[in-house]
Amino acid sequence: MNDFSVMSLRNRIAFYYTITTTLLIAMVFTSIYFMVEKVVYRQFDDEISNEIAEILEESHISTRNFKGFANIQDIDNDDNDRDSKQINVDNDFVQLVNSSGQVMSKSASLSWCALAFNPNQLGTTYFNSSFGGSMVRQAQVPLITNKGITEGYLIVAVPVKSALIVLHDLQDIFFFSFPAIILTLFVFTRLIAGKSIRPIDKVIATAEKISQTNLDHRIPFPYHRDELYRLSATINALLDRMQDAFQREKDFTANASHELKTPLAIVKGTLEVLVRKPREREHYETRIQFCLKELNRMARLIDQLLMLARYESSKINPNIQTVALFPHLESVIERMRPSALTKGIAITVDHADNARIAADSEMLDMIFENILSNAIKYSPANSSIAIVVQHTATTIVCSISDQGIGIPEEKLNTIFERFYRVDESRSSSTGGFGLGLSIVKKLADLQQIQVSVTSATNRGTTFTLTFPAQEINC
Ligand code: ADP
């Protein structure tokens, strides 16, 4: 793990922000500096340009129709015309050179030295150069005869010391203020970032306190409805679901233990009574039969618990294949027929011959078995159970209707929960544990089969299985 990955969030926010701002400020400072520099030099260039125009006018020199240095020498030395024709250079430096750079004439301010001459610059050019140890801005203007020959150059320079001081000061301001701005920015950003993400500390502190024993703790919501608010809401919703799941697990274990404890206690009590004194053979037989019945009930419960555990583990994958619905129904009905016959219950099937669905055969059988055995269990003697299979435009729908005791409407939503029995007395008399329908629901979900139920008390119940449209293969 590198140092950066262990950096705190607020430091990282401050760091990224400062880097970005540093780049921006550097760009702005540089642009400002170059713009000021450009403006300053443009002003100098304008000044020099005006100076040149004045010089040319006053000395009657034409840069396009240059008549030779003799004229200039003449003008300079002509005492009569001196006042009107001598070059007026003010405080600036003026110099005339011939085409090979030899100084032909220069202003008094240049008495002891000469301005730089650049033979490679052909047209009028402006550039910086140094003169007498200080910087000057200078222009070099070619003097061309009417035959197009460059006879020499007029060179004019102005001192730029004051401007350079301004530019230097500007550089200094930028140079010293830059780190100060960056440092201040980093400190402030870190402070603000720390303040903004403080709710995260609360989330962490609360999350650290939550364990299996105090799952009812919740993250306090931050004031602003921002991402942190959503994070808190999401964690709270997750905690709700976890609490729910833990509660269901606890209930399940308590229910399973309770269901197993009762027959165990009955068997234990019966056997303890039996061993107290010798009894008639018939008495033994009846008591042992009774114990066997209880043990069978326990075995059934354990089977159902194991089945639920198996199907609730995420690793189970249904073996979905295209199966013909009717043969499956037939085989389940055949297995159920003996218990139906003992109650005189008739099972009728109205089916579409070619109904084929995508399902796991074993799981499908278990679904039908559970629904049918309930229909038989909760139906009165001599009633009937009707199974109807129908094609709709996109689905195959199979309904199983009985004429039994029915389920109250307000309880229809809960009958698929584990260990839920509508009425303890009616289930215990039929030997149910309230697990059958939760197994049905789990198996149906695994195969994407929809299960729904409608019922009317004392008139009957209908369970409907809807098989998914895209998996129909007629
Ligand atoms: P059990 O093993 O107790 O029957 P189930 O999970 O199969 O458990 O069913 C849950 C409850 O739903 C049952 O206790 C019963 O009261 C009710 N029930 C299920 N099917 C029917 C039905 N066809 N008619 C009336 N009640 C039913």
**Per-residue model confidence as pLDDT tens digits over 298-352:** 998 898 888 888 887 667 788 898 888 888 899 999 999 999 999 999 999 987 6
For ligand 1, atom 16: residue with the closest CA: 422
- pLDDT band for position 65 (cuts 50, 70, 90): confident
Work out the average pLDDT over 80-94.
Answer: 50
Residue 249 CB coordination number (10 Å): 10
CA 468 – CA 463 distance, rounded (Å):
16
Place of tokens 């400002």: 32
The pLDDT value recorded for residue 57 is 82
- pLDDT band for position 88 (cuts 50, 70, 90): very low
pTM score above 0.85: no
Residue 155 CB coordination number (10 Å): 25
The average confidence (pLDDT) of the chain is 85
Q: Which conformational region is residue 148 in: left (phi greater than 0), alpha (psi within -120 to 50 degrees), or beta?
A: left
- 351 C-alpha to ligand 1 centroid (Å): 25
At 363, the amino acid letter reads M
- 374 C-alpha to ligand 1 centroid (Å): 6
CA 71 – CA 143 distance, rounded (Å):
13
- 423 C-alpha to ligand 1 centroid (Å): 9
Longest dimension (CA), the chain: 167
Which atom of ligand 1 has the smallest separation from the CA of 438? Answer: 6
Place of tokens 């639920």: 308
> What domains are defined for the chain?
9-168 (3.30.450), 227-311 (1.10.287.130), 318-472 (3.30.565.10)
- 439 C-alpha to ligand 1 centroid (Å): 12
SS3 416: coil
**More confident call, 206 vs 293:** 293
Pocket-forming residues, ligand 1, beta carbon under 6 Å:
370, 374-375, 378, 402, 404-407, 415, 420-423, 426-427, 432-438, 461
**More confident call, 90 vs 112:** 112
Which atom of ligand 1 has the smallest separation from the CA of 406? Answer: 25
- 114 C-alpha to ligand 1 centroid (Å): 116
Among 228, 205, 226, smallest CA distance to 218 is for 205
- 327 C-alpha to ligand 1 centroid (Å): 25
Among 23-27, 392-396, 439-443, the minimum mean pLDDT is found in 392-396
The pLDDT value recorded for residue 474 is 37
For ligand 1, atom 23: residue with the closest CA: 375
Indicate whether 82 pLDDT > 70.
no
**More confident call, 424 vs 317:** 317
For ligand 1, atom 7: residue with the closest CA: 436
Q: What percent of the chain has pLDDT over 70?
A: 90
Output the six-digit token pair for 121: 């610059």
- 424 C-alpha to ligand 1 centroid (Å): 10
CA 159 – CA 134 distance, rounded (Å):
8
For ligand 1, atom 17: residue with the closest CA: 422
Which atom of ligand 1 has the smallest separation from the CA of 435? Answer: 6
| Span 345-404, pLDDT tens digits | 999 998 766 788 999 998 999 999 999 999 999 999 999 999 999 888 889 999 999 999
For ligand 1, atom 4: residue with the closest CA: 432
Testing ligand 1's pocket by substitution, the residue of 421, 438, 439, 453 carrying the most ligand atoms inside 8 A of its CB is 421
Is the distance from CB of 69 to CB of 150 less than 8 angstroms?
no
For ligand 1, atom 20: residue with the closest CA: 374
